[in-house]
Amino acid sequence: MLTDEVTIKVKAGDGGDGAVSFIREKNRPKGGPDGGDGGDGGNIIFLTDNNLNTLTFFANRKHFQAENGKHGLRYKKHGESGQDLILSVPEGTIISENGKIVADLVHKNNEYLAVKGGNGGWGNHHFATSIKQAPEWSKEGLPGEERELKLELKLIADVGIAGFPNSGKSTLLSVISNARPKIAEYPFTTLEPNLGVVKIHDKEFIFADIPGLIEGASKGKGLGDKFLRHIERTKELILLISAESENPVGEYKILLKELKDFSKKLADKKMLVTISKSEIVDGTRKRIIAKEFKKMKITPIFFSAATRYNLSGLLQKVFDLLK
């Protein structure tokens, strides 16, 4: 199951304490202070990795801590700094704190310094003066920063495929791309987004198929609301309406309303209205459907993933809108 939202706690390393030490050598039995500084604590950094497409790594582990800095040593030796902790996340990861977005990691090798390690403390040699030549104190290292962060994944795709359950979204994706989503003749076969690479005129585009939407999806009904955010970054949407529908225009209006209620940004995207499974209706039914959409100044694209009818025409329209 796709993990696309988690809340974690991150704690940077504490700085090491400065040392209290004095030179004690045969020829210098009462030498001055030589306590070294503590090392800095390690940072925690998020880094995008294009080989990842889920936040599953964070599903079972909620606390992350970087290494503490080592304490200072005698002979003014500096303690070692703690190692940074690098947390790899998929491209498209949004990091927020208290409801405010603090980082949107969209591209390859994007990074975000989440918490900074504490500075190491000073050794006692820093505190020697002409009056106080043998200070018996040092400075403690500072604590590392600590935060509770929410990670949210929004998949990055060029084209989003949306429609009612069992409208043929996954079948379309499996035919035009390298994706192999689960397909069956019952609603909600797709339980998580599927991505596929589609080649059109020697150019590759990423298509995303999300679980079927139903009326009320934007308010939490069914499965669609959980995954609508995965098509927010797309440049274009394909709305699939099955030719089996008794009221295609009605379904279109519901889909549009759900997209608008979830996000105005979604509703304002370029869209193609398509009629899937067109092999199961005759020419008369197609004309009736086309006439109903014409009243709304919409020309639907009829196609069939099963028979490959007009797939090239559909992909050409997709390509034209992406230009």
306 is in an annotated binding site: yes
pLDDT tens track of the chain, all 323 residues? Answer: 567 789 999 999 999 999 999 988 777 767 789 999 999 999 999 999 988 878 889 988 999 999 999 999 999 999 999 999 999 999 999 999 999 999 999 999 999 999 999 999 999 999 998 888 889 999 999 999 999 999 998 877 889 898 888 778 888 988 988 655 443 343 434 446 777 888 899 888 888 887 666 555 445 444 455 667 778 888 899 999 999 999 999 999 998 988 888 888 888 899 999 999 999 999 999 999 999 999 999 999 999 999 999 999 999 999 999 87
Residue 199 vs residues 279, 303, 319: alpha-carbon distances, Å: 24, 18, 10
238 is in an annotated binding site: no
114 is in an annotated binding site: no
111 is in an annotated binding site: no
pTM comes to: 0.73
Q: What angle do CA 154, 160, 161 make, to 5 degrees?
A: 130
Give the 3-state secondary structure of residue 125. Answer: helix
283 is in an annotated binding site: no
3 is in an annotated binding site: no
Domains and CATH numbers, the chain: 1-153 (2.70.210.12), 159-322 (3.40.50.300)
Q: How far apart are the first and last CA of the chain?
A: 34
59 is in an annotated binding site: no
Beta carbons within 10 angstroms of residue 260's beta carbon = 14
* Residue for token pair 């889920």: 54
Pseudo-torsion of CA 112, 113, 115, 121, nearest 10°? 170
Which tokens hold the place of 241?
């309406």
Tell me which residue of 120, 159, 112 sits closest to 142, measured CA to CA: 120
189 is in an annotated binding site: yes
278 is in an annotated binding site: yes
88 is in an annotated binding site: no
